Structure 1
Amino acid sequence: MNKETLTALKGSIEKWEAIVEGTGIDGGYRNCPLCTLFIDDNCRECPTKCSGSFPYGKWESHVDNEHWAEGTLKIYCPTCKELAQAELDHLKSLLPKE
């Protein structure tokens, strides 16, 4: 993993730590350092994916379907917190082993 990708990954981890703590929101690609880095290439080189089979896809689907009226992707219920934690754990698992 190159330095630029590692920096973006660490920024995404910080974002999800805040979401899990209840102090952050998920603005999708608008506040994702990995998206900022990789979106111009259709996310091909991104170390994670946002599809339904990955933790982010499950998070987004749950919040959109269960909490649509609220309009902001953040933690609303215990399932939200569990799914946000799964995304955070997934991102941390992508860190290079030291």
Structure 2
Amino acid sequence: MPSTEINADARLVTLINVFTVEPGRQRELVDLLARATEEVMRHQPGFISANLHVGHDGTHVANYAQWESAEHFRAMLANPACQQHMAAATAVARAEPVLYSVDSVHHI
């Protein structure tokens, strides 16, 4: 089963989408994103993984998601079912999505 891999040699693209949400709505956003991932996103071609991170400040949520390619990610963006879930998320929070490639990894 595919899993999150942080490796400079992997030929994947990583979406880091940082959401800013009003205090008190963080859990609502996380639940919405988790539901969208389970119901729709993980079934899209090229999906590898998604990881939701909650900010200790109560106003941020980060989605760290990996896709086989930028083309797979763009195809997901064009899917009406995915658009519906993304619109629901952006109705709750401001999103700042950016695609990345791993450049280097450092360990102890």
Q: Which bracket does the TM-score occupy, shorter chain normalised?
A: 0.3 to 0.5
TM-score computed with the length of structure 1 as normaliser: 0.35
Q: Pick the structure with more helix per residue.
A: 1
Higher relative contact order (CA 8 A, sep 6+): 2
Higher gyration radius (CA): 2
More strand by share: 2
